[in-house]
Amino acid sequence: MPDVTDSPSQGRSITGLILSGGGARAAYQVGVLAAIADLLPDAAHNPFPVIVGTSAGAINAVGLACGALHFTEAIHRLTQVWQGFHTHNVYRSDWAGVLQQSARFVGHSMLGLGGDVPVALLDNAPLRELLSRELDFSGIAAAVARRRLRAVAVTAFGYESAQAVTFYQGRAAIDPWFRHRRVGVPTRLGIEHLMASAAIPLIFPPVRVNREYFGDGAVRQSAPISPALHLGATRVLVVGVSNNARTSAETTQRNQTGKPPTLAQISGHMLNSTFIDNLESDIELLERINHLGRLVPPDARSKGLGSKPVDVLVISPSRPLDQIAARHRRELPAALRLFLRGPGATRASGAGVLSYLLFEPGYCNELIELGYQDAMGQKDELCRFLGLQQMPAPVINLGVEPRVAESPLQNVAEAMNPGAR
């Protein structure tokens, strides 16, 4: 097995994986990773020495890093978790939980009751229990020690410092970095870092790490690709959770109703601005820098002038995820449907918010399937990017009833567990 953590100065490419945030939308990332696992000639090989995640993407990133000694098994575990997700696995969705949290939120925010206890609209204590049960953080150190992983990082936003802090665990040779409102801090990753990175403002409560409270890392992450480059990546695969780049003018015009926006519509745009816009802007900026770098004459490059281009491959949904969420909105527990009906989140026009909160099997499995199909649609580009030989499409039928007939995605999960037939 080749050493995947060599320094970029040694002339070898180091591939970074960037998993953006987006709540339940992150199920899409699992489908993309499942497709990559199917393309690998060596099931155990980790093709991503550098793994960076934010918000729900941070959970996927750390889950992958914990199992970096066997990439396909790690994908299998992630797939199992996401395929079996229910809302109550992430936050309280029962009547007692929803009503109690709503009362706490109103009392704390409007009446000043509750003291210094962090509060939000939803109680995500079940997510902490799930992560504690499913993740073995010792796997990160083991993968780094055996040189199968260079570094893994998650980003959170400090409410007092107003900085995007990237907590990373990896080789000791990686230096911290300090930039305007974004820093890199070496640490031993744990549950608190993940809970902080996934704490969507107002929706989930902030989490204290050391001396400061942190929230979702996407809030002030002006350069989402930057942490991967600081950790040594020389090329990056970005798995997004938006199809903004594919949205046509016709679709935009069709969505214009002339009616006042609901609270859910406004919140949906705010969430999109938090999770999506910075990433898309950073990709565009990096492509421009790459273009300028290619204009530098070769003799000047040999003298260290100009910048070396960073190869970027982006995989993003081919269909609007809010439309998929709208079709599955009845999967929400009754208490949440009532709670979200007033703001308009249970209507088709408010499905943007729903697409972040709908942790239910029907929705998550459709996103996983979409991610798999979209990645396979870019199979040639993926193989070129990862330096893989073309592999035949999986044809094994292992007895799982797929959403689409002969879905190869199911083969990834079940190939690791033949006894499930």
For position 412, what pLDDT does the model report?
Answer: 43
- Going by pLDDT thresholds of 50, 70 and 90, the confidence category of residue 356 is confident
Q: Is 421 domain-assigned?
A: no
Express as a percent the part of the chain with pLDDT over 70.
71
Could you list the active site residues?
55, 216
Token pair of 248 as six digits: 């046509």
Q: Comparing 25-39, 218-232, 396-410, which segment has the lowest mean pLDDT?
A: 396-410
Which of the pair, 312 or 341, is modelled with greater confidence?
312
- Going by pLDDT thresholds of 50, 70 and 90, the confidence category of residue 383 is very high
DSSP assignment of 36-100? HHHH-SSTT--S-SEEEEETHHHHHHHHHHHTTTSHHHHHHHHHHHHHT--GGGTS--SHHHHHH
Express as a percent the part of the chain with pLDDT over 90.
48
Which of the pair, 25 or 221, is modelled with greater confidence?
25
Q: Is 110 domain-assigned?
A: yes
Query: Strand pairing partners for 212?
Result: 209
For position 401, what pLDDT does the model report?
Answer: 41
For position 18, what pLDDT does the model report?
Answer: 95
Distance CA 212, CA 158 (A): 7
For position 413, what pLDDT does the model report?
Answer: 42
Helix ranges (H only) for 273-360 are 278-294, 298-301, 321-327, 334-341, 351-357
The tally of CA atoms less than 13 A away on the side-chain side of residue 371 is 29
The residue among 182, 52, 201, 178 whose CA lies nearest residue 120 is: 201
Distance of CA 138 to the CA centre of its chain: 21
For position 111, what pLDDT does the model report?
Answer: 62
Residue 404 has pLDDT above 70, yes or no: no
- Domain of 79? 15-246+263-386
- Going by pLDDT thresholds of 50, 70 and 90, the confidence category of residue 95 is confident
For position 280, what pLDDT does the model report?
Answer: 72
Q: Is 254 domain-assigned?
A: no
Determine the longest span between alpha carbons in the chain, in angstroms: 69
For position 346, what pLDDT does the model report?
Answer: 55
Instruction: End-to-end CA distance of the chain: give it in Å, rounded.
Output: 32
Q: Is 8 domain-assigned?
A: no
For position 419, what pLDDT does the model report?
Answer: 44
- Going by pLDDT thresholds of 50, 70 and 90, the confidence category of residue 244 is low
Distance of CA 349 to the CA centre of its chain: 24
The tally of CA atoms less than 13 A away on the side-chain side of residue 380 is 0
Ramachandran bin of 17, using left for φ above 0, alpha for ψ from -120 to 50, beta for the remaining angles: beta
Q: Is 5 domain-assigned?
A: no
How long a stretch of residues is the chain?
421
Distance CA 37, CA 386 (A): 12
Residue 403 has pLDDT above 50, yes or no: no
Distance CA 176, CA 247 (A): 38
Q: Is 19 domain-assigned?
A: yes
Q: What is the mean pLDDT of residues 373-397?
A: 78
For position 174, what pLDDT does the model report?
Answer: 94
Which of the pair, 252 or 351, is modelled with greater confidence?
351
For position 395, what pLDDT does the model report?
Answer: 43
Residue 207, CA distances (Å) to 29, 57, 192, 201 in order: 25, 17, 7, 11
For position 302, what pLDDT does the model report?
Answer: 58
Which of the pair, 234 or 416, is modelled with greater confidence?
234
- Going by pLDDT thresholds of 50, 70 and 90, the confidence category of residue 267 is low
Select the highest-mean-pLDDT range: 23-32, 98-107, 113-122, 325-334. 23-32
**3-state class (DSSP) for residue 201:** coil
Q: Within a 10 A sphere around the Cβ of 90, how many other Cβ atoms?
A: 21
Which of the pair, 79 or 303, is modelled with greater confidence?
79
- Going by pLDDT thresholds of 50, 70 and 90, the confidence category of residue 308 is confident
For position 259, what pLDDT does the model report?
Answer: 67
If you average pLDDT over every residue of the chain, what do you get? 80
For position 286, what pLDDT does the model report?
Answer: 75
For position 382, what pLDDT does the model report?
Answer: 95
State the CATH number of the domain containing residue 297.
3.40.1090
- Going by pLDDT thresholds of 50, 70 and 90, the confidence category of residue 99 is confident
Query: Token match 């509750």: residue?
Result: 114
Residue 278 has pLDDT above 70, yes or no: no
Q: What is the mean pLDDT of residues 45-54?
A: 96
List, for residues 107-158, the tens digit of each pLDDT value.
Answer: 766 666 666 666 778 889 999 999 999 999 999 999 999 999 999 999 999 9
Distance CA 55, CA 23 (A): 7
**3-state class (DSSP) for residue 309:** coil
pTM over 0.85: no
Q: Is 100 domain-assigned?
A: yes
- Going by pLDDT thresholds of 50, 70 and 90, the confidence category of residue 7 is low
Q: Is 398 domain-assigned?
A: no
Q: What is the mean pLDDT of residues 323-348?
A: 74
Residue 265 has pLDDT above 90, yes or no: no
Distance CA 217, CA 20 (A): 10
What is the total count of domains within the chain? Answer: 1
Distance CA 113, CA 110 (A): 8
